[in-house]
């Protein structure tokens, strides 16, 4: 597998057309990748899994911070990133919806106590995996398969938290997002978060902007991170169950585009025993990782209440407009930066936690 790094200029075929970007951010440790130059938080996600081509260079080394280091596995498991990246690219090629699903799985792990692999623990009816907030999470099997392969090469060395972090980066990259370098050294939680904790802590699409800002601030992230990470909704899907609660209210308030509202009303009409329908989070370019999500908000086409609310709040509206029109390439850079910050927030390192033998079970 090639290991992607900084991209000077390259092309990506997505959704039947060519996308071009030239985003050079290697100086900050984030490697740009193709995207167009023009995780709801509780939604089931999916993406297209587009590929990348081009020449790559290694980004500058980032010094260790809080026990995390880009060179953490340089001697102990030098093939770790290659193993993860190869598995993710193969899986996304087979099932294009997995890209956004892995990103969402990563966000859910972060939301409850930081990225510590807790969401992966499988204790029926008790662990975070069995929360209502986790009901439509996917990708557990892929992470477990990667862990098994890594263990075969580097026994008791690489944490599930680090594997999930790398997998989320590679999943985003496979969909057309920028590629960013990562620091490693996270440890897995020795026990697991409860289903109750997940239902309490994970944002599920009904929060006000003030609540989302407060949530991100408790994690050491800021408003710009909130808006940039919401841009992950440029790919993936949400269940109609996430859409219905605020649909009538938004139509009455005229904050929803009329034709788009009519479409959602038809798509998400309740009734029957059929499986809950899905709706694309970005109805314009649903398979392209681009800044169309923000343009949709400007035209009243945000799928979830929490999406459209970003434009209505003065603290977030400026970033929405900037990512949509004023500085379209800024989104690609900021998304990579914010994802990296998210993966470093409140993690266990050093003698804290453990390195699990299996991601689905704590060590005993």
116 is in an annotated binding site: yes
Tokens of 291: 């800044």
119 is in an annotated binding site: no
255 is in an annotated binding site: no
188 is in an annotated binding site: no
Catalytic residue, candidates 52, 108, 299, 333: 108
52 is annotated as an active-site residue: no
285 is in an annotated binding site: yes
Q: Report how far apart, in Å, the C-alpha atoms of 364 and of each of 66, 234, 334, 357, 358 are.
A: 27, 41, 40, 10, 11
262 is in an annotated binding site: no
57 is in an annotated binding site: no
114 is in an annotated binding site: yes
- As annotated, the active-site residues are 108
Binding residues for Ca(2+): 109, 112, 114, 116, 118, 128, 234, 282, 285, 290
Binding residues: 109, 112, 114, 116, 118, 128, 203, 233-234, 282, 285, 290
Binding residues for substrate: 203
């Amino acid at each position: 597998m090639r290991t992607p790094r900084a991209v000077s200029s390259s092309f990506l075929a997505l959704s039947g057309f060519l996308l071009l970007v030239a985003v050079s951010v290697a100086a900050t440790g984030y490697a740009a990748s193709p995207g167009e130059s023009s995780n709801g938080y509780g939604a089931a996600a999916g993406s297209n899994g587009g590929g990348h081509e081009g020449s790559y260079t290694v980004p500058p080394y980032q010094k260790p911070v809080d026990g995390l280091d880009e060179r953490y596995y340089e001697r102990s498991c030098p093939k770790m990133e290659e193993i993860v990246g190869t598995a993710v690219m193969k899986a996304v090629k087979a099932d294009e919806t997995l890209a956004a699903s892995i990103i969402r799985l990563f966000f859910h792990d972060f939301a409850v106590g930081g990225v510590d692999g807790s969401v992966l623990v499988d204790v029926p009816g008790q662990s975070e995996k069995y929360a209502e907030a986790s009901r439509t999470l996917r990708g557990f099997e892929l992470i477990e398969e990667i862990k098994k392969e890594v263990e075969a090469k580097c026994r008791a060395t690489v944490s599930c938290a680090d594997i999930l972090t790398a997998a989320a980066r590679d999943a985003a990259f496979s969909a057309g997002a920028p590629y960013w370098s990562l620091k490693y050294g996270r440890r897995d939680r020795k026990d697991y978060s409860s289903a109750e904790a997940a239902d309490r802590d994970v944002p599920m699409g009904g929060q006000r902007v003030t609540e989302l800002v407060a949530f991100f601030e408790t994690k050491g992230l800021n408003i710009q991170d909130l808006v940039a990470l919401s841009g992950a909704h440029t790919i993936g899907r949400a269940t109609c169950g996430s859409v219905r609660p605020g649909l009538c209210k938004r139509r009455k308030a005229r904050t929803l585009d009329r034709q788009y509202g009519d479409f959602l009303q038809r798509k998400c009409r309740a009734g029957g025993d059929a499986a809950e329908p899905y709706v694309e989070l970005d109805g314009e370019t649903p398979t392209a990782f681009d800044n169309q999500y923000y343009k949709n908000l400007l035209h009243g086409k945000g799928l979830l209440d929490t999406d459209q609310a970003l434009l209505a709040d003065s603290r977030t509206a400026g970033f929405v407009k900037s990512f949509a029109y004023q500085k379209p390439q800024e989104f690609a850079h900021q998304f990579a930066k914010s994802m990296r910050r998210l993966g470093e927030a409140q993690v266990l390192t050093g003698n804290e936690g453990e390195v699990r033998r299996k991601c689905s079970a704590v060590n005993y």
